[in-house]
Amino acid sequence: MKISVIGAGYVGLTTAACLAEIGHSVRCADNDEIKLALLRNGQLPFFEPHLEYVVSRNCNAGRLQFETTEKAVAGAEVIFICVGTPPLENGEADLSAVANVALTIAQRTTGYCLVIEKSTVPVQTGAQLKRQLQLYAGKGLKCDLVSNPEFLREGSAIQDFFHPDRIVIGVEREEAAAQLREIYRPILDQTFKCPVHAECTHTQKPAWIVTDTNSSELIKHASNSFLAMKISFINMVADLCEAVGADVTKVALGMAMDPRIGPAFLNPGIGFGGFCFPKDVQAFVRIASKAGCDFSLLKEVENINKRRIERFIEKIRQELWVIRGRKIAVLGLAFKPNTDDVRFAPALEILRSLVREGAIVSAYDPQATEKAKAVFPDVRYCASPYEAAQDAEAILITTEWQEFSNMDWDRLRKIVSRSLIVDGRNMFNPAELTSRGFHYISIGRQPAFSLDEDPPIAPSAELHSALK
C-alpha cells in the first residue's frame, strides 16, 4: 500500500521505517529542512536502537523516501499524522502542528483519503480534525478519520512496533477498520521477517482492539497516566521503606507476584521523565477538568514526581553536608537508557540543581551528551565514567545504562576522592557495592541489606525475571 507519514520524529520515523519494512511504499515528511537533508543523507536526527538500520535498508530497497509535507500529502490515499503535540504553558497539548497538517491535507488531497491520527492528542481531537478536513477541503475529498495511538517506548521503539501487545484503532466506519487491518496485517499475524528479531522478546500476536474514536484517544492518555501513577506509587512506598527500615525491592517483588499488579513499572527512583509521561499526565488532568471531572489523583502523581529531585538532592546533601564547591560525577543524562533524549530528563534537573548550589559537576552519558550540552552548556562533559569520576566526592547514578553495570569498581575506587555512590535508579546490589569498598546509597533500600544466603540480585533484574 502507498502510505504517507507526516512527521519524522521518534514516532513518525519509526512508523515510516517499520511500515516500509513490512512491505508498504512509504513517503515520510517533515517541515524541518535540516532534518530532511540529514535523513536523505542516511543520518538520523536522534539515537534509537536499530532504527538507522531499518531506515537504511528500506531506503536502499526504494520503499522509503523523505519529502516535504506538501509533496507527501499530494494525492495520498493513506496518511499517518505523527507530528508533535508539545505542552502549552497551561498544560494542555499544543495541537497547532496537527491542525496545520489537516489544513495541508484538505488543500492538497482529492478523492478518497484515510487519515490516521497517531500523535498523542486529547479526546475529541478526531472529531475536530474531521470537521476541519470537511470545512477546508475542496470538492471531491472524501475521508475517514481513524485514531490509532502509538505505544512505542523510546529505546525499544522498533521492537514495540514489530511486536506490540495491542493495536488500538478508533473508527466511525467498518470499512476504515478493514483498511487499517490490511495495513497492519503482517504485524497482526506476525508473518513478516523481523530484521531485529533476535533481540525481540515479545513475539505473540497482538490484540486488535477496535473502538470509537473518543475511546481510542482516551486509551492512550489513560495508559500513560496509569503507568505514571504506578511509578509515583512505588516512589512513595520507597520513601515509606526508608522511614520504617524496610526494603522496597522486596516489597515490589512481593506485590509484583500478584498478577493483578504485575512487576512492570515498579522501579523506584528519581521519577519519570521524557517527552510523554510528564506532558500526558498534565494534559489528562486538563482534559478531565474541562469535562467537569476533577482528576486530583493524577495531580498528586505529578506532585510526587516533582518532589523526587529535591529528595535525591537531600540524600546527597546529607552525605556531603555542603554541596557548594564539591566535585560530583553525574553518570547518565538521558531520561532513560538507550536513548539520547534529554527532554524532561530527571538527570538534567539534578544537574541544574547541583550547579545552582555551586557544585563542580562532571557528567557522562553514553549517548546524550550532545543533546544535554545544547540545553545546559555550563557543565564539564566527559568521554567516560572514569574521566567524570576523577577526584569526585560523590558519584551519582541518574540513568540506568547497561554500560554502568560493567564498570571497573577497583579502578573507580582508586580515582575518586571519596568512595560514595548515590544511586537514583537502584541499579546496583547494595551488599556488593559495600563489599567493594563503597558507601552506597540508593532509593528505599537498606544500605547493605540481605536476608538471602546468596548475594541478592539487583532489583530490576529481580523484577524482570519475575516478569518471565
Q: What does the angle CA 41 – CA 73 – CA 45 come to, to the nearest 5 degrees?
A: 30
**421 contacts: CB under 8 Å, gap ≥ 6:** 394, 395, 396, 397, 428, 433, 438, 439, 440, 441
# residues near ligand UGA by CB under 6 A: 20
Cα–Cα distances in angstroms (integers) from residue 103 to residues 128, 135, 168, 176, 417, in the given order = 12, 9, 25, 21, 60
Q: Is 394 helix (H, G, I), strand (E, B) or coil?
A: strand
Which of 159, 267, 367, 398 is the binder for ligand UGA (CB under 6 A)?
267
265 makes contact with ligand UGA (CB under 6 A): yes
Site string for ligand UGA, 277-306 (x = CB under 6 A): x-----------------------------
State which residue, 238 or 441, has the beta carbon closest to ligand UGA: 238
Give the distance, in angstroms, between the CA of residue 285 and the centroid of all CA atoms in the same chain.
20
Q: Tell the smallest beta-carbon distance from residue 276 to ligand UGA (Å).
A: 3
Give the amino acid at 292.
G
State which residue, 256 or 448, has the beta carbon closest to ligand UGA: 256
114 makes contact with ligand UGA (CB under 6 A): no
Q: Which helix (H) or strand (E) holds 381?
A: strand 380-381
d(CA 383, CA 329): 12
**Residues numbered 303-342 forming contacts with ligand UGA, rule: CB under 6 A:** 335-336
State which residue, 95 or 416, has the beta carbon closest to ligand UGA: 95
Q: Of 23-31, 172-180, 263-271, 445-453, which segment contacts ligand UGA by CB under 6 A? A: 263-271
Q: Tell the smallest beta-carbon distance from residue 455 to ligand UGA (Å).
A: 23
Residue for grid cell 487491518: 181
125 makes contact with ligand UGA (CB under 6 A): no
Catalytically annotated residue among 241, 276, 293, 382: 276
State which residue, 67 or 341, has the beta carbon closest to ligand UGA: 341
**Residues numbered 132-161 forming contacts with ligand UGA, rule: CB under 6 A:** 150-154
Contact yes or no for 398/347 (Cβ under 8 A): yes
269 makes contact with ligand UGA (CB under 6 A): yes
* 241 belongs to the catalytic site: no
Q: Tell the smallest beta-carbon distance from residue 279 to ligand UGA (Å).
A: 9
**Residues numbered 343-372 forming contacts with ligand UGA, rule: CB under 6 A:** none
Q: Which helix (H) or strand (E) holds 2?
A: strand 2-6
* Other beta carbons less than 10 A from residue 157's beta carbon: 25
Q: How is residue 103 written as a grid cell?
A: 489544513
Q: Is 457 helix (H, G, I), strand (E, B) or coil?
A: coil
Q: Tell the smallest beta-carbon distance from residue 292 to ligand UGA (Å).
A: 25
d(CA 24, CA 356): 51
Which of 12, 164, 206, 274 is the binder for ligand UGA (CB under 6 A)?
274
Give the catalytic positions in this structure: 276
